[in-house]
Amino acid sequence: LKRIFILCEEMQQVLHDAKPDMKAKFSYVRFLISLSFLVGIFESVNWINLVLQGIQISVLHCHETLVAFKMKLELWHAKLEKKFVLQWTWTELTEFFLQKTKRKKRKLPYGESDMKIGCGVRYGGGRRS
């Protein structure tokens, strides 16, 4: 999905003869915003999938990872409702998780404290970072 978003112009050329109605969608801003939003969601789900398939992962670790991800989705939804920019760092999400669960701050795995999640567009706008 991310590659399709990145290669929008090439997709327009490919779809020019085959499906002209689909070609037009790749020039609509609303379609591109929706596509970028889906790219952000699928990248997050893919990251969770890779974490859960890691070496020597316990059921407890999987449960904690999924609970944290669910809370991150709740934060994402709250930001979307307030029409905030849909981008944040893992540090911000972890602080939200720790605040909600009242746990002590832990080091994030794999040095991903600065990894960005989301599509980086303002709801109703057209900026992509």
Structure confidence by residue, pLDDT tens digits, 9-33: 777 777 777 777 777 777 777 777 7
- pLDDT tens, 61-102? 899 989 988 888 888 788 777 766 545 555 555 565 556 555
Number of domains in the chain: 1
Q: What is the pLDDT of residue 43?
A: 84
Q: How far apart are CA 117 and CA 91, in angstroms?
A: 11
Per the domain annotation, does 129 fall within a domain? no
CB 128 within 8 A of CB 120: yes
Could you tell me the residue range of the domain that residue 58 belongs to?
A: 2-122
Q: What is the pLDDT of residue 94?
A: 56
Among all chains, which residue has been given the structure tokens 């989705």? Answer: 73
Per the domain annotation, does 128 fall within a domain? no
Per the domain annotation, does 100 fall within a domain? yes
